[in-house]
Amino acid sequence: MRSPKALLGVTAVVTAALVLAACGKGGGDDTGATTGTLDFYTNKAAWEPDFTELNADSKSGAQIELKFTGYSDAAQYDAFIRQSFRTDKSPGLFTWQTGPQLAEVVKEGLVAETTDIWTKAVNEGWVSPGLRDTYTYDGKQYCVPMNIAYWVMYYNKKVFAEQNIAVPTTWAELDAAATKLKGAGVTPYYQTSTLFTFPWFQQLVAGTDPALYKGLATGEVKYTDPRIVEIMKTWRAQEDAGWFSDPGSTVDPAVGLKQGDYAMINFGSFFNGSLDGAGMKSGEDYDMFVIPAVNPALTNTPVAVESGPLCVAANSSQKTLGLTYSQWWMSPEAQTAWSKARGDVAFNPKATVADPMLQKLGTTVAGGGHETFDRYYEATPTPILTVALEQFGAFIANPGDPLPFLEAIQAEADKYWAEKK
């Protein structure tokens, strides 16, 4: 995930590097090797132990071992990757971002196509067609998902039991649960005014109309659209009802859920680790559920997905090796090993996940009746995202007429899309 401190500075660095890359694409001739040591570059330096653990499986399953090079600074990493495209050091495998940043390098022809890999994965039932859409540009696929996190609702099982609340399966039931909790003196939802200010907005918009949500990401829908304004008014009504926690609280979110400071928290499926670390036991002290659609007429329930891609440089001397690894990566064997190393949900529903809760979630979302959509953080162009996070945070801290907040975001959106014409 992009760090908030890097958001402002990355755009200029990336733009300059992209110009250089477009001026002279370098790289070396593809050796055609399908086994051996694969150079892997990532902005997730802290994940080195996980990939090191995985090497034993990739050596036996694909005869490929990763040579790990990690970066901790997002801006430095982005600049390095961009510049490498015009040299003979183009990476055989590297991590990137979905959304607009992936679209840029695809447009420039800098990353290798993976359509055949995705076709096989979908046909084998290894991945949902909805996730494929995240990696599709002009009908072709590029990169593969390194990891995914589904944004769901975690809840304190003790609190739900005390209030005799069943897991909501409709938005009306979710509202009823929030009303009952508040009446009993329990704050229904966690919320913060810093960084993670977007989850409830994305849930309300996508859960009302997925096409409306996607339109914001492409500029086809304005933030001042009357439909968006009405959705924000719903959010404000919930704020006024006291359904959300103190947005300025410094209590760790996992600790707050454990203490019963609030009954529910909308977070990515990686949050299991934080809750376990806070002393809560999966399936006993806490559980999760897919958030129902706001609009009961929707055929499929929208589920926000956060996905970070593994990509291969189109002009890398290790292109074939990188694509061979990518194909193995999509398999149940690889995803079982990766889930064990990371302790997270697997995008492949046929993989085995140690945590039964995460295993069930992956199978549920990949099954019928659900439709994934890109998390707002990745779907939104960086300049617009920066302003939106600030405005959502201001709205959360001091709820009021939503239109001024939306107008501020739209002003930046107008500027951004005008420059893209």
What pLDDT does residue 27 have?
Answer: 54
Q: Out of 76-80, 294-298, 327-331, which region has the weakest mean confidence (pLDDT)?
A: 76-80
Average pLDDT, the chain: 91
pLDDT-based confidence at residue 18 (cuts at 50, 70, 90): very low
Burial status of residue 76 (CB atoms within 10 A of its CB: 0-12, 13-18, 19 or more): middle
Residue 196 has pLDDT above 80, yes or no: yes
Residue 9 has pLDDT above 80, yes or no: no
123, 223: one domain: no
Q: Does the residue 80 lie in any domain?
A: yes
141, 163: one domain: no
Strands 64-70 and 36-42: parallel
Residue 19 has pLDDT above 60, yes or no: no
325, 360: one domain: yes
88, 122: one domain: yes
The DSSP string of 7-62 is: HHHHHHHHHHHHHHHHH-----------SEEEEEEES-GGGHHHHHHHHHHHHHHT
Average pLDDT over residues 111-120: 97
Burial status of residue 211 (CB atoms within 10 A of its CB: 0-12, 13-18, 19 or more): exposed
Q: Does the residue 372 lie in any domain?
A: no
Q: Does the residue 82 lie in any domain?
A: yes
Are the beta carbons of 223 and 246 closer than 8 angstroms? no
36 conformational bin, left if phi > 0, alpha if psi -120 to 50, beta if neither: left
What pLDDT does residue 202 have?
Answer: 98
What pLDDT does residue 28 have?
Answer: 66
CA dist 394 → 137, 195, 227, 398, 411 (Å): 35, 11, 21, 6, 16
Domain boundary among 322, 341, 367: 367
Total structural domains within the chain: 2
Q: Angle at Cα 293 formed by Cα 242 and Cα 411, nearest 5°? A: 70
290, 399: one domain: yes
88, 237: one domain: no
185, 46: one domain: no
262, 355: one domain: no
Residue 26 has pLDDT above 60, yes or no: no
Are the beta carbons of 89 and 288 closer than 8 angstroms? no
Q: Does the residue 373 lie in any domain?
A: no
Backbone phi and psi for residue 112, each to the nearest 5 degrees, phi listed first:
-75, 145
Q: Does the residue 237 lie in any domain?
A: yes
Q: Out of 22-36, 41-55, 351-365, which region has the weakest mean confidence (pLDDT)?
A: 22-36
Q: Does the residue 297 lie in any domain?
A: yes
More reliable by pLDDT, 185 or 86: 185
Q: Does the residue 109 lie in any domain?
A: yes
361, 393: one domain: no
Q: Does the residue 361 lie in any domain?
A: yes
Average pLDDT over residues 164-193: 98
Average pLDDT over residues 222-232: 98
pLDDT-based confidence at residue 1 (cuts at 50, 70, 90): very low
The domain of 154 spans 150-303+378-420
Q: Out of 59-63, 129-133, 188-192, which region has the weakest mean confidence (pLDDT)?
A: 129-133
Average pLDDT over residues 137-153: 95
Are the beta carbons of 376 and 202 closer than 8 angstroms? yes
What pLDDT does residue 287 have?
Answer: 97
| Token duo for residue 116 | 């055949």
325, 225: one domain: no
Residue 421 has pLDDT above 90, yes or no: no
> Which among 224, 179, 212, 202 has a CA at the least distance from the CA of 406?
224
Tell me how far apart the alpha carbons of residues 257 and 275 are, in angstroms, rounded to a whole number: 8
182, 91: one domain: no
Strands 301-311 and 144-156: antiparallel
Q: How far is CA 369 from the centre of its chain?
A: 20
What pLDDT does residue 8 have?
Answer: 34
Question: Which CATH number fits the domain that encloses residue 312?
Answer: 3.40.190.10
Are the beta carbons of 342 and 132 closer than 8 angstroms? no
Domain boundary among 343, 367, 391: 367
| Token duo for residue 128 | 């949902």
Tell me how far apart the alpha carbons of residues 343 and 347 are, in angstroms, rounded to a whole number: 13
143, 159: one domain: no
Tell me how far apart the alpha carbons of residues 70 and 94 are, in angstroms, rounded to a whole number: 10
